[in-house]
Chains A and B, each alone.
Chain A
Amino acid sequence: MAQSRMRSAGSLIGSLVGAAAAIALLIVAPWWLLLAAVLLLALWTVATRIGRQAWSVTEVGLATIPQRLGAASVVVVGIAGVVAVLVALLAMAAGFEAALKESGTDDTAIVMRAGAQTEINSVLDHDSATVVAQAPQVLRNAQGQPIASAELVVVAALPKKSSGLDANVEVRGVGERAWNLRPGVRIIDGRKFGSGLRELIAGKGAHEQFAGLDVGSTLKLNGQAWTVVGVFDSGDAHNSELWGDTDVVAATYRRGSSTTAVTVRLTGADAFDAFKAALTSDPRLTVDVKTTRAYYTDQSAALAKLIRILGVTIAAIMAIGAVFGALNTMYAAVATRSREIATLRAIGFRGLPVIASVLYETMLLALLGGALGAILTWIVFNHYTVSTLGQNFTQVVFAFQVSPPLLWTGLRWALAIGLIGGLFPALRAARQPVTAGLREL
């Protein structure tokens, strides 16, 4: 008695360790390793006698699913919920990160006043801006002018379409070289603003999120009427902004000839170190120099990390709930089939095909749930546009990005939940004494 209890405790610990190892494998293993594992499993199922037995027992199990649809859907829907929430939150983090990251490159650099951290905090006087633009590492255009844009970032409060409440939108005063600097910016409606005029063009994201930014509409900034003459798409965080002529924006915001930051295109990514060294050692300047990639990555890092942590935590708690749901369903499935399983054992089937068949069944249900959750998220949330408060005290508009790697992550979670939910009922099925099983109803 004591011995058999010891043995069952031993096998319980063994199966716990095995389950933990398998889950770890599912969550961290690279895709090719998993693919290899799946292929091996398929080979085992097809090529060995026990494998074929396992599959035929699984087929019998799967055939009974229509009779217990409610119980089976607990596994599917429970796992679909976990995967949907996980993928949606991770897609939100990815979308926010991408919107900001894509705004930066390694061969453009941003120069701000030392210590400013963000553009909105920075002030550069006209002389400093000129000194920065003249640095030898700055690329020049066909006319020999440096591709540098001294820009003025200010904030305007406009009503959001969703809530009607005022939210901050970033207004960027740009010079004529901004178009050289950011060749990816396209006008998708209307035209560019005219130099020296009170005209604005709205980024695609800002246009979607804020009211009153349609081409031809007027908005008041400090009592002056500005006309929206176009909508642009830059494919990055600038889509959250309004652009106008630097000098006119400066006049409205009483900024004189100062700007907030200078962004330059370097002769190459390798010129950055020399550029930074030249500016930081220049006694006329007190500035911080960053590549735009570093600048925008810093801005997204904290919030993206927070959303990821939240997403994984929430999904993990939901996963615990889903695991117990799956356990319930599969224990019930095993119990209703106990007579059939005992018969199989009595006519010579080993324990392994029985264990494998219960696991197969749970994993298939889990896979179905995972796919359902992932597809649902993809349909509802891919390119779903929202906005939140960014580092400049202004709204950053971004779209959820439901990418294949995230869907894959969701499927891994689904399989891990299925594995735990199936393993223990499978072990019970195999361990059940044959005589007791045959006597069941």
Chain B
Amino acid sequence: MKYLQLVWSAMFRRKTRTVFTLLSVLAAFLLFGLLDSVRSAFANAASSVAGVDRLVTVSKISFTMSLPKSLLSGIAALPGVAKVTYANWFGGIYQDPKNFFANEAVADNFFDLYPEWQLSQAERTAFRTTRTGAVVGESLAKKYNWKLGDKIPLQATIFPQKNGGNAWTFDLVGIYRVSNPKQKNQESILFFNWDYFDEARAFGNGNVGWYITQVSDRKLAQQVADAIDALSANSDHETKTQTEQAFNAAFVSQYGDIGLIVGAIMGAVFFTLILLTGNTMAQAVRERVPELAVLKTIGFSNHSVLALLLAESVLLIVFGGAIGLLLAGVVVDAVRAAVGETVPMTRVGAAIWLRGVGLMVLIGLIVGALPARRGMRLRIVDALAGR
């Protein structure tokens, strides 16, 4: 620590060069922060921890195929099942197809299975008792400036009403909040009453899209899942039951391998960065050969010269990288404020910082290794003589 001053002034010996190098490092870690934020968002969506005691039952053919509502009583009667509810994809459009958000018709006990979502008792009751009632997540409500009591019109894409029209209107009776920042993306759904939906839609009546079952003990999950699938085995509506977590992971993976794409881009970025800063460090050491010799003459050991030079390259990368990550945090917050919290970017929090700083130190050591070794091996006589 006592040599920080020395390392610092050595780093800024050539101001222009160091500043340019810092800016390159900054750009690389700005990119790292942004891309890792996107990658984390997809990874979080795939692995929400809360869903391990909930099972999702969909048609075995694919989740777009509906299931008969008659399965409900069978599932509820199975041992190990605490609660069961059902839902249906609606796919309505608010004003313009660009304003995409999920909207689902759900049974009146749906929110009982999601205790981690905060919805007041009064709003729960209002949802149960209002035929055309709808509940939305706070992020979604903020985005479209909806207040309790508003009427929300949706254009149906799949389910016209009995009169053939596509216009459905819902009354906003509740707004739920998700406190876990990793699950904020679940605040972008609109839920409305399945009973109203089933009564008013032109076709498909008596069918539901999927069932959600809460098991009494999460150790029983696999057993209950198998029992649910056995109910419909060899029928014309076979089901596939898995934990909500596994279901989400499979769904997210359908977008493509986000991790792989991000990894490839960051690979290109860091390869370039290592070459660039490595060159800077090599130059810095080459220019300072006589100074290093002086350091050794006044008593610095070979190893402390090595340590000084490594510290310099690590400091260079950590300094530039930290500014880059700070900037990434500002940019992500700005994007989230502009587009809404539903955008697939997590805040640049501790996890990203930890990975980022780890990378910075690693790159700093790689970059500094060769020049530092050169500094360590300098022979005082040769270096002072300029050989």
Contact = CB atoms under 8 A, between A and B. Distances in A.
Interface of A: 70-71, 73-74, 77-78, 81, 84-85, 113-118, 120-121, 123, 154-157, 160, 162-163, 165-168, 221-223, 253-254, 286, 302, 314, 317-318, 320-322, 324-325, 327-329, 331-332, 386-389, 393, 395
Contact of A222 (B97, B237, B253): B237
B255 A388 contact: yes
Contacts, number: 149
22 contacts: A70-B278, A78-B275, A78-B276, A84-B268, A115-B155, A115-B157, A118-B157, A155-B63, A156-B61, A157-B240, A163-B253, A168-B62, A223-B235, A302-B98, A317-B34, A324-B20, A328-B21, A331-B17, A388-B254, A388-B255, A389-B255, A393-B64
Contact of A85 (B24, B30, B265): B265
A81 B160 contact: no
B31 interface: yes
Given A123-B203, A386-B256, A387-B256, A81 B61 contact: no
Interface stretch (B5-13, B279-287, B289-297): B279-287
A325 B24 contact: yes
B253 to A, nearest CB: 5
Interface in B17-56: 17, 20-21, 23-25, 27-28, 30-31, 34-35
B279 A121 contact: no
Nearest to A153: B64
Contact of B31 (A114, A155, A156, A318): A318
B276 A74 contact: yes
Contacts of B275: 73-74, 77-78
B3 interface: no
Contacts of A314: 31, 35, 265
A289 B250 CA distance: 34
B279 A70 contact: yes
Contact of B279 (A71, A154, A221): A71
Contacts of A386: 256
A389 B254 contact: yes
Interface in B335-386: none
A318 B271 contact: no
A203 B283 CA distance: 56
B73 interface: no
Task: Across the A-B interface, give the 5 residue pairs with the lowest CB-CB distance, nearest first.
Answer: A321-B27, A155-B62, A115-B166, A324-B20, A321-B24
B256 A388 contact: yes
Contacts of B158: 116, 121
B235 A121 contact: no
Contact of B61 (A74, A222, A332): A222
Contacts of B63: 155, 157, 168
Contacts of B20: 324-325, 327-328, 331
B238 A321 contact: no
Given A84-B268, A254-B236, A317 B27 contact: yes
B217 interface: no
B70 interface: no
B156 A115 contact: yes
A328 B280 contact: yes
Given A157-B61, A388-B255, A395-B254, A321 B23 contact: yes
A353 to B, nearest CB: 25
B227 to A, nearest CB: 18
Nearest to A389: B254
Contacts of B235: 223
A263 to B, nearest CB: 19
B236 A223 contact: yes
A81 B28 CA distance: 12
Given A115-B157, A155-B62, A221-B61, 15 more contacts: A115-B155, A155-B63, A156-B62, A157-B60, A157-B63, A163-B257, A222-B60, A317-B30, A318-B27, A318-B28, A318-B268, A320-B27, A321-B23, A321-B273, A331-B20
Contacts of B189: none
B272 A77 contact: yes
B326 interface: no
A329 B30 contact: no
Contacts of A120: 64
B250 A253 contact: no
Interface string B88-102: 000101000110000
A325 B253 contact: no
A113 B61 CA distance: 24
B381 to A, nearest CB: 21
Contacts of B160: 113-115, 286
Contacts of A114: 160, 166
B234 interface: yes
